Amino acid sequence: MIITSCGNSIDIAKEIAKKLKKKFSPLTISSFPDGDIYLRFNTDVKNKKVVIVQSFQPNSDMSLFDIIFAAETAKDLGAKKVVLVAPYLAYMRQDKRFNSGEAISSRIMAKLLNNSIDKIITIDPHIHRYKSLKDIFTISAVKLTANPVIAEFIKKKMKDVVIMGPDWESYQWAEVIAKQIGAEATVLKKTRFSSRHVTEKMIKPVSIEGKNVVIVDDIISTGHTIAEAAKKAKKMKAKSVTAIGVHGLFVENAIDKLKKAGVDRIFTTNCIEHPTNKIDITPILLKELKKNQ
Ligand code: R5P
């Protein structure tokens, strides 16, 4: 087995290689003078299983392109199997044609990967209108969750906690995490008017006065969703507000927006590299990879 990466998730890739006692060999990826991609394997992959560890952020479009080039090259060089470990899988939120003429990006991304790789392992992909990854992937697709490491983190670091899901989709994390740490969970109803305008209303009432509220969501992108939830928590006299995201994209001025809304602390997993990373998902990936070495 050879562990490689296209440039994102290098630390996770190295740790996986170390723990599995396998070789980590990074790819050389650059551009020709005209901008065409140049990609090279720096180790022999013939008859080997190649594991590409690559989060789709930063640069989701480039990551998809690099993964396809890497997978096709590995196969061309005689690799036995190509497995993609994508801690963050992009494009999943565009799961229908919201407006006429739009691309259904998640289907296109999956079609391209189905063609080039043999298996995908990912963490908390944004599954909303699909029932499972099987709706778009024809290859083996494994969906893991960061819930256990997030629960462990909260249990170690915080007391007197209420877990808040900023919308119904996030309740799957909020409820499970709350159960694991023996806390109460609440959920808000989100109305999204545009990609930058959302409102929140509490639909599972619990008392949060004087409590440390932990808002948990899969993705923090522009920060609007968590910012609105934080304002609600502050209004209801929460003692403190902590935001935890599995995938911290933090686009535009998300961090400032969260702080202005009253978020005291922001933590993320290392599914996407960011200074807020405090929760390591490598053990979850390792457990899965050890099953099929
Ligand atoms: C959407 O349904 C997701 O679960 C997140 O709530 C959403 O992607 C967060 O986006 P933003 O930070 O831009 O509000």
CATH, residue 21 = 3.40.50.2020
Residue 157 has pLDDT above 80, yes or no: yes
Q: How confident is the model at residue 168 (pLDDT cuts 50, 70, 90)?
A: confident
Instruction: Kindly give, in sequence order, each residue whose CB lies less than 8 Å from that of residue 156, ignoring residues fewer than 6 positions away.
Output: none
State how far the Cα of 125 lies from the Cα of 33, in Å rounded to an integer: 36
Residue 196 has pLDDT above 80, yes or no: no
63 found inside a domain: yes
Residue 22 has pLDDT above 90, yes or no: yes
Nearest to 171 by CA among 157, 187, 160, 183: 187
- Please give the helix or strand (H or E) that residue 66 lies within, else none: helix 60-76
Q: Are residues 11 and 121 in the same domain?
A: yes
Domain span holding position 37: 2-145+281-291
Mean pLDDT along residues 125-132: 94
Q: How confident is the model at residue 86 (pLDDT cuts 50, 70, 90)?
A: very high
Q: Are residues 87 and 220 in the same domain?
A: no
CB-ligand 1 contact for 228 (6 Å cutoff)? no
Q: Are residues 138 and 8 in the same domain?
A: yes
Q: Are residues 78 and 130 in the same domain?
A: yes
Q: How confident is the model at residue 194 (pLDDT cuts 50, 70, 90)?
A: confident
275 found inside a domain: no
Cis peptide before 205 (omega within 30 of 0): no
Instruction: Kindly give, in sequence order, each residue whose CB lies less than 8 Å from that of residue 117, ignoring residues fewer than 6 positions away.
Output: 52, 67, 71, 82, 83, 84, 139
Q: For the chain, what percent of residues have pLDDT higher than 70? A: 99
Q: Are residues 42 and 130 in the same domain?
A: yes
Token duo for residue 289: 């990879």
Total domains, the chain: 2
Q: Is 190 a catalytic residue?
A: yes
Q: Are residues 217 and 244 in the same domain?
A: yes
Mean pLDDT along residues 207-232: 95
Contact 248, 265 (CB under 8 A): no
Mean pLDDT along residues 9-14: 98
Contact 245, 268 (CB under 8 A): yes
52 found inside a domain: yes
State how far the Cα of 88 lies from the Cα of 253, in Å rounded to an integer: 21
7 found inside a domain: yes
Q: Are residues 58 and 158 in the same domain?
A: no
Greater pLDDT, 191 or 233 = 233
276 found inside a domain: no
Q: Are residues 140 and 14 in the same domain?
A: yes
The CA angle 236-241-242, to the nearest 5 degrees, is 150
Q: How confident is the model at residue 180 (pLDDT cuts 50, 70, 90)?
A: very high
CA of 20 to the centre of ligand 1 (A): 34
Residues present in the chain in total: 293
Which ligand 1 atom is at minimum distance from the Cα of 170?
Answer: 4
Q: Are residues 7 and 135 in the same domain?
A: yes
Q: How confident is the model at residue 169 (pLDDT cuts 50, 70, 90)?
A: confident
**Average pLDDT value over all residues in the chain:** 95
140 found inside a domain: yes
Catalytic residue among 119, 190, 232, 257: 190
169 found inside a domain: yes
Q: Are residues 50 and 156 in the same domain?
A: no
Q: Are residues 114 and 210 in the same domain?
A: no
Q: Are residues 141 and 152 in the same domain?
A: no
CA of 221 to the centre of ligand 1 (A): 6
State how far the Cα of 290 lies from the Cα of 162, in Å rounded to an integer: 35
Residue 293 has pLDDT above 80, yes or no: no
pLDDT tens-digit series, residues 35-84: 999 999 999 999 999 999 999 999 999 999 999 999 999 999 999 999 99
Residue among 221, 224, 257 to mutate when testing ligand 1 (max atoms within 8 A of CB): 221
Greater pLDDT, 172 or 275 = 275
